[in-house]
Structures are given as structure tokens and as C-alpha cells.
Amino acid sequence: MKKQEIVLTGDRPTGPLHLGHLVGSLQNRVKLQDLYKQYVMIADVQAMTDNFENPAKVRENVMEVMLDYLAVGIDPNKTDFFIQSMIPEIAELTVFFLNLVTVSRLMRNPTVKTEIKARGFEESIPAGFLMYPVSQAADITIVKGTLIPVGEDQIPVIEQTNEIIRSFNRLYQVNVFPEAQPLISRVARLMGIDGQAKMSKSLSNAIFLSDSPDVLKKRVMSMYTDQNHIRVEDPGQIEGNVVFTYLDAFDPDTIKVAEFKRHYQRGGLGDVKIKQYLFDVLNQLLTPIREKRAEYAQERGEVMKILLQGTDRVRQVAAQTMSEVRTSLKLNY
Amino acid sequence: MKKQEIVLTGDRPTGPLHLGHLVGSLQNRVKLQDLYKQYVMIADVQAMTDNFENPAKVRENVMEVMLDYLAVGIDPNKTDFFIQSMIPEIAELTVFFLNLVTVSRLMRNPTVKTEIKARGFEESIPAGFLMYPVSQAADITIVKGTLIPVGEDQIPVIEQTNEIIRSFNRLYQVNVFPEAQPLISRVARLMGIDGQAKMSKSLSNAIFLSDSPDVLKKRVMSMYTDQNHIRVEDPGQIEGNVVFTYLDAFDPDTIKVAEFKRHYQRGGLGDVKIKQYLFDVLNQLLTPIREKRAEYAQERGEVMKILLQGTDRVRQVAAQTMSEVRTSLKLNY
């Protein structure tokens, strides 16, 4: 018997998923689907807010992301997958929610501020981009989500959602929406293979779940280690060393990792050797994912059907929620 | 055979319609429906942008406005009436259009600037209110409207719409939307019975189409005339005199009006007498409207049916447009 919480989570389909997603959210979803009702949204409308000049990229990646989901074990019998743009109720709810938030409140949202800076929008912020926390509030509330897995940096989005929920329930004297709670990931963000703080497709420092063994090997071999570890016999640093960070994250054999660390620190353990070991660890992790993914990729029609079936189920939930919203707003004709 | 233009027009259901609407837009619609395909939208979603704290008011006035439409002769066999909130495609299109407009562009919109000032929003502008020109662009384009009856002050809304249309067609290399053209009303705005420039429900200076003869008489008798016209024999001013402004606007007997003007100017024509004459003119104009309105008001169920049938037809048009939009955005799954 699943508990009463409703989980809403998802991804923007702007590229295939990588190891950072695996440790940061995907593995968590595989667990959450056994505990709660879980919805996983492919956020194509949100992806459009900063990819509106390249919709083909968004479209292609809907399937890539879906293949990744199935490959890691998110199970369509336990989780409802859906495509955001196919739920018009989200757009309808967004439009009503926009009345409950001021422009200056949106401008003050720390997540939005950071992302506006990161994208270099400066003075020409697309209105859709400024509004996306309101759109996210609609994503969450349309399925009455109560438990929202997020990183620390996304907490203001949940706060904004709850402000809207409280305004709505108070103004219209109803209790249509339960408040949402962030489920904050305890896993530290996975660094990129170049040693940068964040693994990201746009930084070209990612290992994708779909990478072939050859590509995986190339990426592991190019990893940032210790710049001063020139000869094998030199003592090496493990702090900020990507190889050891990844071993900590992915090798279940923690005793062996500890031994390797001591060996590397006192000298005598070459980068190529330890990278080869990391490659084996990662390849063992990724091989079943890659194989499962390749199987699903043979059946794209079936995969799309799964996605559309989930979308249909969410559409029914969304229609029910919008019906309650219309009644609250007295706009039920 | 109607010409190829598509007219979109409508009203916010925030109160019953008045004489200002009659001369400013309603009479025009009765003519336009014979020339073109015409859609008349009851803009409940837009009305919510500054009435979100009072949705009951919006809801009640949907029927009042519809009764006014039918009473003045807008004909459901020639015109499709529809309720904005029942076309979710408008919300969907709004969300995509928001990506094509910057926040600073919206802030610079002269119509929005004026209305923000008029409503005293100052720093706490609801996001929905700032966005309404984008929502209006979606209203127009969802039915591919090409001819939009507006007052001078609404021209920036059409300009904003055409900017969005050009961005959309250019970015996605399609030709989904024709540009819209304003059809500017040549009728000067009707002043209020208190002599203020604008007749408006919120200023309590309006004569409603539904006013009873008693109320009509009371309103005519309270009209602002010439403050210095104390005794009947005094010469009176006709400039800024509401009674003569209304006679110019509503009395088809222009020769008689000219005579009355001369008489008033040289003295000897009392305010009560000329007001009684104006009452007769207005009552003659409003009696058939009032009677027709009373008949329809007996059949609210039927009237709602007419409105919902129009809404159904528009829904089909809107679905077709959104299908083209989805294809353009490559979001057709």
C-alpha cells in the first residue's frame, strides 16, 4: 500500500541524461515509485522557454529522455510518464495563477535571477522565462503534487508554489490544493569530468547513460586528476580529483577505493591504471542500462505508446483538477 | 458572399453594457456580421486579470453581456459568440507566445502603462495583468482574426500582436498567422451623464441598455448641462452640455436638434423641457432593445445554449489552429 504523498518530478528534454542525473534524481525515482504515486513529466513547454529558437532539439530529446527513464528502471507500471505540452490544463492553470503573483515577486525569485544571469538575458528577458516558476506551480498543482524532489537551488520554486496555493485557497475560500513539500536530494551534485562543479551537457563535461564503451573509455581517460601527478611514483592528490570523486560515488567496494586512495597519495599508482579501474566500475554500472536502452530504442513506437498512455492518465487527473478550479473561480458554465 | 476578413471583438464581462458600448461598438457589430465572418468573445479570463478577487461578478455578467448582445441585434446565425475560458487553446497559445516577447517590451506597452496607472497597481502589478497583451494576441490569432475593431487607445495591442505573429512566422519558418489590422472606430467616445469624458460603469455615469424607463428618466434628468443656465430665459451653452451631445449622437432628426440648439443658446428653452425631449429620443431607441432583452431574459437556458454552441464552433477552429501551431513547433506527438 503506497502512502498518500504524490510525487511530481521530471526533466527538460534538452539532451540525453547523464551520470549526474543518475545519482541526483533517477536512482531516487526508482525508489520513490515503490513508496508513492509518482508522476514523471517531460517538460517540453518549459524547455521551450529558453529553446524557443530550436524546437527540433526539444522534440528529439523527448524520446531520448524517455529511453533513459526506462533504461534506468523507472517502471511505467508504477510511474505515470507524461508530456507537458499535451496537458493544456497546465497552460490554463498557469494563466489563472499569473493573476496571483506580482511581476516584482517574480523578479525577486532567486532561482530565476541566477538563471537569467546564466543565460545572459540581461534586459531582454523573455516573458515566458520570467513566468516559469508560475508554470511550475501549475505543473505541481495540476496533479496535486505534495512531494517534489529538488536540488537546494530549486527550493524557491516550491516556496513560490506554496504562496500561490495559499493565495488561491484563501481568495476563493476553497481547499483545492494541498501544499507541496520539497524532497531535497542529499546527494552532492556530481562534478563534470573536467573538474568543474557541475556535470552538464552544455559544458561538454558529461558522461551520458547512452555512451558506448568506447566513448565512455575516452571520457574517463580524459578526466581531470591531479595536475602535479606527473610520474607514476609521484604522490598524488585525491581532493578535487575527478577519478576518486567518481569512485566514491559509484564503486560499491568502498574498502578497495580506500586502499587505492592511500596508494595514490603515497605515490606509485598511475593515472592510467586507476582510470582503467574506474572505467570498469562505470562500465559495469552502465552496461545493463545501455543494453536495456538499446532494446527500447528498437521499439520507439512502443515507447511512445507508453508515454502517450501515461499522458492520457494524467490528462484525466488534470481535467478533474481544472474542473475544481473552475468551480472555485465560478467559471463552470 | 462574405469577404475574406475575420473579425474578432468582444467585451470583458464586468458589468451590463451601456449607451457608450452601443455607439462605440455594438451597432458596428450588427453591420460587420453581414460583411464578414465575426467572432464575439466574452472575455472572462481577461476580466479576471483585474477582478481575480471577485470572480462572482465576472460570472454573473457573462449572461448580462450576452443578453445585451442579442437585444441589440447581434445575431447568433451570423456571429459566433464564445466564452474565452472555455477555449483552453487560448491559454496554450499564450504560454508559447510569452517566449516571443520580452518583459521590458511589455512594460513599455503604452496601453498597459496607462491601465496600470489607472488601476493604481504601482509596484505590485499582477503578472497576469502585465501579460494581457500577449493573451489578447492569442485571442486574435486562435481564430486567425484579421480585422479587429478597437478604439485609438487599443492600437498598441494590435501592434504587439503583429510583432508576435511576425516573430512566430519567422522563427518557425511558417505562415500560420495572418497579420491583424485595427478597425478604428470613427465614433467619438460617448461622455458620461456627469460630463466626464468617458461613460463607464465604474464611474457611475452610465445609461445601461437594460435600464427601465424610470431609471432612464432619472439618469437623463440628472444630466450635466450648463451650470450657468439658471432661469429658463437665460441663454445656455451647448458645448460640453451632455444633453446636446447625446442628441447629436442619438436623435436621427438633425434639423430639430439644430433648432433646439439655437433656441437654447438664445434663451427660453428650459433644461427640463429639453431633457424630456432627450428622454423620449433615448426611450424610443432603447424600448425595442429593452423589450427584446426582457424576452431573452425569460429564456436564460436557451441563451446559454446559444453561447455554448458558438463556443463549440470556436473550439473546433481553435483546435485546428493549435494543431498548426504544434506542427510549427514540432510538438505534434
Which chain A residues contact residue B100 at CB under 8 A?
Answer: 52, 126, 128
Distance from C-alpha of A320 to C-alpha of A328, rounded to nearest angstrom: 13
- Contact at CB, B127 and A102, closer than 8 angstroms: yes
Q: What is the pLDDT of residue B124?
A: 87
Do A222 and A134 lie in one domain? The reply is no
Q: Indicate whether A273 belongs to any domain.
A: yes
Task: Indicate the range of A281-295, B71-85, B193-207 predicted with least confidence.
Answer: B193-207
> Does the structure show a pLDDT above 60 at A1?
no
Q: What is the pLDDT of residue A59?
A: 96
Do B163 and B288 lie in one domain? The reply is no
CATH (domain of A282)? 1.10.240.10
Distance from C-alpha of A244 to C-alpha of A265, rounded to nearest angstrom: 11
**pLDDT tens column, B272-322:** 999 999 999 999 999 999 999 999 999 999 999 999 999 999 999 999 999
Q: What is the pLDDT of residue A73?
A: 98
Do A179 and A225 lie in one domain? The reply is no
- Contact at CB, B329 and A55, closer than 8 angstroms: yes
State the smallest CA–CA distance between residue A129 and chain B in angstroms.
Answer: 7
Q: What is the pLDDT of residue A3?
A: 67
Task: Indicate the range of A153-157, A280-284, B204-208, B216-220 predicted with least confidence.
Answer: A153-157
pLDDT band at B165 (very low <50, low <70, confident <90, very high): very high
User: Is some CB atom of chain B closer than 8 A to the CB atom of A126?
Assistant: yes
Kindly state the average pLDDT of the residues A243-266.
95
User: Which one of A59, A86, A88 has the shortest CB-CB distance to B89?
Assistant: A88
User: Which one of B55, B92, B99 has the shortest CB-CB distance to A331?
Assistant: B55
Kindly state the average pLDDT of the residues A309-323.
98
Please state the separation of Cα B281 from the chain's center in Å. 23
Task: For residue A147, report the phi and psi dihedrals to the nearest 5 degrees.
Answer: -135, 115
Q: What is the pLDDT of residue B120?
A: 81
Q: Indicate whether B110 belongs to any domain.
A: yes
Which chain B residues contact residue A133 at CB under 8 A?
Answer: none
Q: Indicate whether A231 belongs to any domain.
A: yes
Looking at the structure of chain B, the number of domains it has is 2
Task: For residue A96, report the phi and psi dihedrals to the nearest 5 degrees.
Answer: -70, -40
Q: What is the pLDDT of residue A118?
A: 83
User: Which one of B56, B123, B129 has the shortest CB-CB distance to A330?
Assistant: B56
State the smallest CA–CA distance between residue A273 and chain B in angstroms.
Answer: 47
The pLDDT mean for chain B works out to 94
- Tell me if residue B252 falls in helix, strand or coil: coil
**pLDDT tens column, B129-146:** 999 999 999 999 999 999
Q: Indicate whether A257 belongs to any domain.
A: yes
For A27-49, give one letter per residue: b (16+ CB within 10 A) or e: ebbbebbeebbbbbbbbbbbbbb
Which chain B residues contact residue A123 at CB under 8 A?
Answer: 102, 104
| Ramachandran quadrant class, A150 (left: phi over 0; alpha: psi -120 to 50; beta: rest) | beta
Percent of chain B past pLDDT 70, that is, above it, reads 99
- Contact at CB, A91 and B95, closer than 8 angstroms: yes
User: Which one of B95, B129, B171 has the shortest CB-CB distance to A128?
Assistant: B95
Do A62 and A135 lie in one domain? The reply is yes
> Does the structure show a pLDDT above 80 at B154?
yes
Do A152 and A258 lie in one domain? The reply is no
- Tell me if residue B6 falls in helix, strand or coil: strand
The domain in which residue B162 lies consists of 6-190+300-328
- Contact at CB, B331 and A304, closer than 8 angstroms: no
User: Is some CB atom of chain A closer than 8 A to the CB atom of B92?
Assistant: yes
User: Which one of A99, A329, A333 has the shortest CB-CB distance to B308?
Assistant: A333
Q: Would you give the DSSP letter of residue A180?
A: P
**Which residues have a Cβ under 8 Å from the Cβ of A53 and sit 6 or more positions away?**
B171
Do A152 and A260 lie in one domain? The reply is no
Q: Are B126 and B193 in contact (CB under 8 A)?
A: no
Q: What is the pLDDT of residue A111?
A: 84
Q: Are A228 and A237 in contact (CB under 8 A)?
A: yes
Do A264 and A307 lie in one domain? The reply is no
Do B50 and B169 lie in one domain? The reply is yes
Q: Indicate whether A150 belongs to any domain.
A: yes
State the smallest CA–CA distance between residue A131 and chain B in angstroms.
Answer: 8
Which chain A residues contact residue B130 at CB under 8 A?
Answer: 103, 127
Q: Are B219 and B193 in contact (CB under 8 A)?
A: yes
Do B245 and B140 lie in one domain? The reply is no
Kindly state the average pLDDT of the residues A313-319.
98
Which chain B residues contact residue A85 at CB under 8 A?
Answer: 92, 326, 331
Do B77 and B165 lie in one domain? The reply is yes
Q: Indicate whether A197 belongs to any domain.
A: no
User: Is some CB atom of chain B closer than 8 A to the CB atom of A137?
Assistant: no
Tell me the ipTM for this assembly.
0.92
Q: Would you give the DSSP letter of residue B11?
A: E
User: Is some CB atom of chain B closer than 8 A to the CB atom of A101?
Assistant: yes
Do A110 and A174 lie in one domain? The reply is yes
The pLDDT mean for chain A works out to 94
Kindly state the average pLDDT of the residues B177-198.
89
Distance from C-alpha of B307 to C-alpha of B39, rounded to nearest angstrom: 11
Among residues 178-207 of chain A, which lie with CB inside 8 Å of chain B? none
Kindly state the average pLDDT of the residues B54-66.
96
The chain B residue lying nearest A135, using CA atoms, is B95
- Contact at CB, A329 and B124, closer than 8 angstroms: no
The angle formed by the CA atoms of residues B129, B134 and B138, to the nearest 5 degrees, is 125
Do A140 and A36 lie in one domain? The reply is yes
As to burial, measured by CB atoms within 10 angstroms (0-12 exposed, 13-18 middle, 19+ buried), residue B18 is buried
> Does the structure show a pLDDT above 90 at A186?
no
User: Which one of A59, A134, A171 has the shortest CB-CB distance to B127?
Assistant: A134
> Does the structure show a pLDDT above 80 at A150?
yes
The chain B residue lying nearest A172, using CA atoms, is B53
Spatial CA neighbour of A100 closest among A171, A180, A155: A171
Q: Are B44 and B62 in contact (CB under 8 A)?
A: yes
- Contact at CB, B331 and A59, closer than 8 angstroms: yes
User: Which one of B45, B88, B125 has the shortest CB-CB distance to A88?
Assistant: B88
> Does the structure show a pLDDT above 70 at A71?
yes
pLDDT band at B2 (very low <50, low <70, confident <90, very high): low
**pLDDT tens column, A11-38:** 999 999 999 999 999 999 999 999 999 9
Distance from C-alpha of A85 to C-alpha of A89, rounded to nearest angstrom: 9
Among residues 1-60 of chain A, which lie with CB inside 8 Å of chain B? 44-45, 48-49, 52-53, 55-56, 58-59
Instruction: Locate A97 and state its grid cell.
Output: 495563477
Q: Indicate whether B20 belongs to any domain.
A: yes
Among residues 238-297 of chain B, which lie with CB inside 8 Å of chain A? none
Among residues 160-179 of chain A, which lie with CB inside 8 Å of chain B? 171-172
pLDDT band at B203 (very low <50, low <70, confident <90, very high): confident
Kindly state the average pLDDT of the residues A134-139.
97
**Which residues have a Cβ under 8 Å from the Cβ of B268 and sit 6 or more positions away?**
B232, B233
Kindly state the average pLDDT of the residues B170-184.
95
Q: Indicate whether B261 belongs to any domain.
A: yes
Identify from A42, A83, A99 which residue to disrupt to test chain B contact, counting B C-beta atoms within 10 A and taking the largest count: A99
